[in-house]
Amino acid sequence: MVWTTYKEKIKRLSQRIVDAQKPIRILDAIKWDPSVEQALRKSKFKLMPKVGPEYYQKIPLGYDPAGKIEEFEGIIADTRASLGAEDEVGKLLCKVALQYADVIEMIRHRGTKKFWEFSKKLYGSPKDTFYDSKNTVSQLGQLLYSILNGLDSATMGQEYPRNIEAAQAVEILNGRLKTYFKDEKDRAKISDGILADAAAGGDAVKVREGSLFSARDVDILEVHEGWVHIATTLNGNQQHVAKWLSKGPPRCSSTQEGLAVIMEIFTFRSYPRRARQINDRILGIDKAEDGANFLDLLEFYRTEGYSEDESLANAKRVFRGGMVEGGAPFTKDISYCRGFVENYNFMRTAIRSGKPELIPFLFLGKLHVDDIPLLYQKYKEGIVDAPVHLPPQFTDLNGVAVWMSFSSFLNQVDLRKVQEHYDKLFKQFL
């Protein structure tokens, strides 16, 4: 028997996970055919979409679910046998493999309540609390709703008309991202197979044909999809040993999406309507968990001022894969706000603990924020490679350190007292 090193074992096992997950495409497995939307429009949104278990069974997966689950179970067993049941990297690899097995179980139960139960297990629920065990994701959504709806976009600054066509947006993004990544590869391309106007797919930003963007939208795509999603993919791909960091199971979604939202805010590219769109996804999922059906949610988004097309897109994001009758949504979209809070608190804690060197490792690859202390330890042992592609705010941490230092104190301020003070002044003079 050929002797193998610890690094070789990790590389071999993590590569098996990467190879095993390749055919699994969650969004492809739960997407709706255009005919569903056509039928909705024809009924003038009075009839529920006919999307249930039978509908989803007609969507080919390209793999045998039972066989694929057995494959991941085999990887888990081999990991424990090869690295030992108590090895920390081995535990992480087993956690990742088990998540992929749960993903397949979720997909197998599309259109049923079981789909939602696995979705909650994988992505969480608006009813979940943060680490303080007091505040829920839903409460965050309701607080942001009350604040963001009080902001008048007319007083916030210049208007940004959506007058940039998809092809032009691709051209702009390719120019900027070539500068950022310091290569000549096109990192943006036209695609007609996505629900959103744009989304990161592998190492490129996919832009939906026919979409229109504002200059600010393009700015956000640059940092959200490019600086974060593509960068973490490339940082994961360049790992010599920790190959699993190139692909992310659902446990990585909150860290990834939260980091992307943080970059929108750190670069001052976000705006209230954008924040509302992200936050209203939490509210929609919460309503669906409580029993709202597809048409109920469609009306909710219309009431909030979204266009017909936007309302349809938002409602489909919530109900894809779940039960359109209500009670069992797809919960992935709580990741944006949940991840923002988790990542922000991690950065504050790292600064307060005198460990700022951990913060750039948020960009290491597809990971969960809780993995970073272990991954940093393995970086020092030569098992994990440091992230190569980092935003300027994370290559020079001075600004982040000062921001987080003040933030730690501001968290202790009684905002109710401050609010009372300024409310008196507002009433007196405004």
Query: If you average pLDDT over residues 50-71, what whole number do you get?
Result: 97
Euclidean distance between CA atoms 27 and 311, whole angstroms:
19
| Residue 277: pLDDT over 70 | yes
Question: 120 lies in a domain?
Answer: no
**Cα–Cα distance measured from residue 72 to residue 101, given in angstroms and rounded to the nearest whole number:** 6
pLDDT digits (tens, 9 = 90+) for 358-384: 999 999 999 999 999 999 999 999 999
pLDDT at 155: 67
At residue 236, the pLDDT reads 97
pLDDT score recorded for residue 157? 72
Residue 166 lies in a domain: yes
Residue 117 has pLDDT above 80, yes or no: yes
With the C-alpha atoms ordered 149, 197, 268, 142, is the resulting torsion angle positive or negative?
A: positive
Q: pLDDT tens, 239-269?
A: 999 999 999 999 999 999 999 999 999 999 9
Residues in the chain: 430
Q: Does residue 114 lie in a domain region?
A: no
339 lies in some domain = yes
Q: Does any domain span residue 428? A: no
- Tell me the mean pLDDT in the region 132-152: 88
Backbone conformation region of residue 162, classed left if phi is above 0, alpha if psi is from -120 to 50, else beta = beta
Degrees, nearest 5: CA angle 13-18-22 = 145
Number of domains in the chain: 1
Q: Is residue 40 part of a domain?
A: no
Beta-ladder partners of 199: 206
**b or e along 371-380 (b: 16 or more beta carbons within 10 Å of the residue's beta carbon)?**
bbeebbebbe
**pLDDT higher for 114 or 150?**
114
pLDDT of residue 180: 96
Q: By residue range, what is the domain housing residue 254?
A: 126-396
The answer to the question of residue 252 being in a domain is yes
Say what the pLDDT of residue 317 is. 95
pLDDT band at 154 (very low <50, low <70, confident <90, very high): low
380 domain-assigned: yes
Higher pLDDT, residue 261 or 194: 261
Please state the φ and ψ torsions of residue 198, each to the nearest 5 degrees.
Answer: -155, 150
Quote the pLDDT of residue 7. 97
